[in-house]
Chains A and B, each alone.
Chain A
Amino acid sequence: MFETQIEAFCKAAFYPFLSRIFHPINELLNPIYQPWATLTAIGFFVGTMIWVCVLLKESYVNEGRPNRRWWSDLRLWTVLSMLPHVFVYFYFY
């Protein structure tokens, strides 16, 4: 009952203004689906890997590293932990 009253108030007070913002955005986005959805999702994962491995300084990424062995490089860990997701979103395309 109380929730219904809140919704009624918000609809009366804010819907006329907010709908003018969100409805055009929704109409713009409605026809955009595949392959852009999958490309955006995969791009998110790939972009993050590039950011860590290429754009960030190695000294910052591996600050506090216990040794210089290859397995302690956190850039490698980033790629290994992100790659399965790329395959998952590609598979379910």
Chain B
Amino acid sequence: METIIGLSNIDIAIITVYMIGTLALGFFCTRYVGNAEDFFVSGKSLPFWAIGFSIVVSDIGAMDFVAVAGATFRHGVSAANFDWMGSMPAMVFAAFVFVPYFWRTGVFTIPEFLGRRYNSAVQFLNAVIWAVVLFLGLSIMLWVTADKLMHTVLGWDAMWSLWLMAIVTGLYTFAGGLTAVVFTDVVQLVVMYVGGFGLLALSMWEVGGWSAMREQILAKGPEFQNHFTILLPHNTEGPFPWTGIVFGLGIVLAIAYMSGNQVIVQRTLGARTEWDAKGGMLLGGFLKSMIPLMVALPGLCAVILVPQLPIEEADRAVPEMIRLLLPSGLRGLMFAALFAALMSSISGTLNSASTMFITDIWGQARRWFGRPALTERQALNMGRGFTAFLIIISAILAKPIADRESIYVFMQTILSMFQGPTLAILLLGIIWRRATQWGGLVGLSLGVVFCFILKNTPGLFTSEDPFLFVAWWSFVFSLMITVVVSLLTRPEPEEKLRGLTWGSVIHSAEAQAALEERNL
């Protein structure tokens, strides 16, 4: 099957203008970075609309365009659950349960909040887990775009393409921190939506509309009968049973992701007011609800338009659609949209990983060894240095990590390994004053071990890849362990919990100032 297409001069011009414009905007934001608070949380100046836009594009990457379309090609609309059930109501819970407490305490990171609520070991463990996940995610994002898009569709050398993306994105993230990340995200959302809806419109036109598409797909045979069923039976062999989607995804993975993922939450931490933080999360949820139209529906169209595509190469559905449907000019715009999606995800991940490393890993290790806290200037320089280090090492290791069949399920499987336990201690930490630091530490540690056991013990569930059930049951397990150990250990002092738990709203300015004291 021919997969290589050429780009016209117009396409290359569009892509070049987009890249240079993004770099320029990112460097422009450097003027707003004077200290660590500016670099990590934009000096707490972000309005709700920038937060909402940034959350969406940081979350949605080129991987979603490629991998969700591929998952939809294989499994049907049930793959779209990840952007429907998997975003709302999780973002509502994040907005009204977790974000107010994160924002009010003035933390830079989620692990930092966990450190205040429980202890430094919980902070460090959670940060290390997330650092590994973000690193893997970064490598996967780089490789998917380089291999499945640039190499497959354009015939560009995968490694050369990978390094181009890494260097462009790394540069403006290094220079401008979260401010550069967020404001380039605003532009990237517009580009992404224009390109994405353009591809959708042409795809739907080509298949003859929704009803015609549905008829043609259902007529293809028994393996396509569930392609328009969003909630599949509990005992389905596929990875998306309804019980897993509602409980594992809707309650555990989605809430854990939207409330405990530094990349998502960091934007709200930079909000100028609590209302902006919450409103940004809700706006992001609304915009995210449109994402399946752009990423999942083209996958369905590909079932008809690219019928010769083997199932094991389903992740190539979008590249094939681009090759087939888009004329010159629109190809350039679509690739700019895909680059926008990728670059926003990379920049968000880079900035968040850097923030967590400085605050929770390096900073915490220094405290344990009795070293003085980093100055604002030192933290800023270290943050930039780690940003550069991380993008380089991710680019080097991208291929060995990410070169596998179904990337989306692989990434979701990784996330399911610890999100249940993390959500359990985060939730109990806020709603239950009796949760103790030892309950949190044991709940998190044993919860991750339990995840590992469930994941590697075949035959417990019917689903071929039961990561949704692993997430749910590890959440339940961690809840129980945290409660039991908390009840067996001494309660935390009132003063420690002030402002960190449900209902303990801080009203005095003095208490608020004490609460917001930095860990740096």
Q: Is A70 in the interface zone, CB < 8 Å from B?
A: no
Contact of A48 among B89, B242, B460 (CB under 8 A): B89
Q: Is B230 in the interface zone, CB < 8 Å from A?
A: yes
Contact with A along B266-284 (1 / 0, CB 8 A): 0000000111101100110
Do A11 and B459 form a contact, CB below 8 Å, given A30-B234, A52-B96? yes
* Cα distance A80–B233 in the bound complex, in angstroms: 29
Contact with A along B202-243 (1 / 0, CB 8 A): 000000000000000000000000001111011100000011
Contact of B283 among A26, A40, A41, A77 (CB under 8 A): A77
Contact of B230 among A64, A72, A88 (CB under 8 A): A88
A45–B457 touching, CB < 8 Å: no
Question: Which residues from 69 to 96 on chain B have a C-beta closer than 8 Å to any C-beta of chain A?
Answer: 77, 84-85, 88-89, 91-93, 95-96
A33–B242 touching, CB < 8 Å: yes
Contact of A26 among B230, B235, B251 (CB under 8 A): B235
Residue contacts A-B, CB under 8 angstroms, 11 given = A40-B242, A40-B246, A41-B242, A44-B89, A48-B89, A63-B278, A64-B275, A74-B275, A77-B283, A77-B286, A92-B231
Question: Which residues from 43 to 61 on chain A have a C-beta closer than 8 Å to any C-beta of chain B?
Answer: 44-45, 48, 52, 56, 60-61
> Most chain-A Cβ atoms within 10 A of its Cβ — which of B89, B96, B233, B282?
B89
B: number of interface residues (CB 8 Å): 45
CB-CB under 8 A from B243, the residues of chain A are 29, 37
B461–A22 touching, CB < 8 Å: yes
Q: Is B456 in the interface zone, CB < 8 Å from A?
A: yes
Do A41 and B88 form a contact, CB below 8 Å, given A32-B234, A33-B233? no
Contact of B282 among A22, A38, A74 (CB under 8 A): A74
CB-CB under 8 A from A60, the residues of chain B are 96, 100
Chain B residues proximal to chain A, CB less than 8 Å: 77, 84-85, 88-89, 91-93, 95-96, 100, 228-231, 233-235, 242-243, 245-246, 250-251, 273-276, 278-279, 282-283, 285-286, 289, 453-454, 456-462, 473
Question: Which residues from 1 to 40 on chain A have a C-beta closer than 8 Å to any C-beta of chain B?
Answer: 3, 6-7, 10-11, 14-15, 18-19, 22-23, 26, 29-30, 32-34, 37-38, 40
A19–B460 touching, CB < 8 Å: yes
* Cα distance A23–B230 in the bound complex, in angstroms: 25
CB-CB under 8 A from A45, the residues of chain B are 88-89
CB-CB under 8 A from A14, the residues of chain B are 453, 457
Question: Taking the nearest CB of chain B, how far is it from the CB of A59, in angstroms?
Answer: 10
B92–A7 touching, CB < 8 Å: no
Question: Taking the nearest CB of chain B, how far is it from the CB of A8, in angstroms?
Answer: 9
B89–A74 touching, CB < 8 Å: no
Q: Looking across the interface, which residue of chain A has its beta carbon closest to that of B456?
A: A10
* Cα distance A26–B473 in the bound complex, in angstroms: 13
Question: Taking the nearest CB of chain A, how far is it from the CB of B458, in angstroms?
Answer: 6
Contact of B274 among A19, A23, A56, A64 (CB under 8 A): A64
Q: Looking across the interface, which residue of chain B has its beta carbon closest to that of A12?
A: B457
A11–B457 touching, CB < 8 Å: yes
A37–B456 touching, CB < 8 Å: no
A74–B278 touching, CB < 8 Å: yes
* Cα distance A84–B286 in the bound complex, in angstroms: 9
Contact of A82 among B77, B92, B96 (CB under 8 A): B92
* Cα distance A56–B276 in the bound complex, in angstroms: 18
* Cα distance A86–B8 in the bound complex, in angstroms: 43
B77–A41 touching, CB < 8 Å: no
Do A64 and B273 form a contact, CB below 8 Å, given A7-B456, A30-B235? yes
Do A77 and B282 form a contact, CB below 8 Å, given A29-B234, A37-B242, A44-B89? yes
* Cα distance A87–B161 in the bound complex, in angstroms: 41
Question: Taking the nearest CB of chain A, how far is it from the CB of B241, in angstroms?
Answer: 9
Question: Taking the nearest CB of chain A, how far is it from the CB of B56, in angstroms?
Answer: 12
